[in-house]
Amino acid sequence: MSTKLRSGFTLVELLVVIAIIGILSSVVLASMNTARIKGNDAAIKGELKNIQAQAQIYRDENNGYYPSFVDGDPIVDNCANTEGLMSDTYIINQLAALNGRFNATTTCMVGTSTYAVSATLQGGGGWCIDFEGNSTSSIAGNDGSCQ
């Protein structure tokens, strides 16, 4: 009897290896998506902190006041109005980054001595900064603080 030596893998062995690789890659991709969302949420919070710092600079340069809106309505949905504090070019650029890069819905409220800005997070919920230095998971309220 002659014995034949086989070299290589059988089709079943190759299919098992391919299935294992597929399962592992799907787990990794799901984890990466979660990490991407958390990273974007951290970036949104960072942009809001930059706005908070710039608002304090604005206040220091304007005798301790945040200017009121001309029409008397302090609530500006999507921060589209460029009156008052939102006329600061740096803040406008930061808000544009939130809306453009992260598709975050922003809400701004600016009064004579108060302001609050909130943005939606990609992981759900929102983040708010206000004139008192607060950074919380809430929304901008009518009184110029985070609710």
Read off the pLDDT of residues 46-88 as tens digits, 9 standing for 90 and up: 999 998 888 888 788 877 766 554 444 544 544 655 455 556 7
Please give the model's pTM, rounded to 2 decimal places. 0.71
Least confident of 26-30, 50-54, 85-89, 140-144: 85-89
Q: How confident is the model at residue 42 (pLDDT cuts 50, 70, 90)?
A: very high
pLDDT of residue 37: 92
pLDDT of residue 39: 93
pLDDT-derived band at 41 (thresholds 50, 70, 90) equals very high
> Which are the contacts of 77, defined by CB distance < 8 A and separation ≥ 6?
107
Q: What is the C-alpha to C-alpha distance for residues 136 and 133, in angstroms, rounded to an integer?
A: 10
Q: What is the DSSP letter of 66?
A: P
Nearest to 79 by CA among 118, 127, 131, 136: 118
Q: For residue 56, what pLDDT is reported? A: 85
Mean pLDDT within 25-31: 86
Residue 140 confidence (pLDDT): 76
Whether residue 3 is predicted with pLDDT greater than 80 in this model: the reply is: no
Q: How far apart are CA 3 and CA 138, in angstroms?
A: 75
Q: What is the pLDDT of residue 9?
A: 86
Quote the pLDDT of residue 82: 45
Residue 6: is its pLDDT beyond 80? no
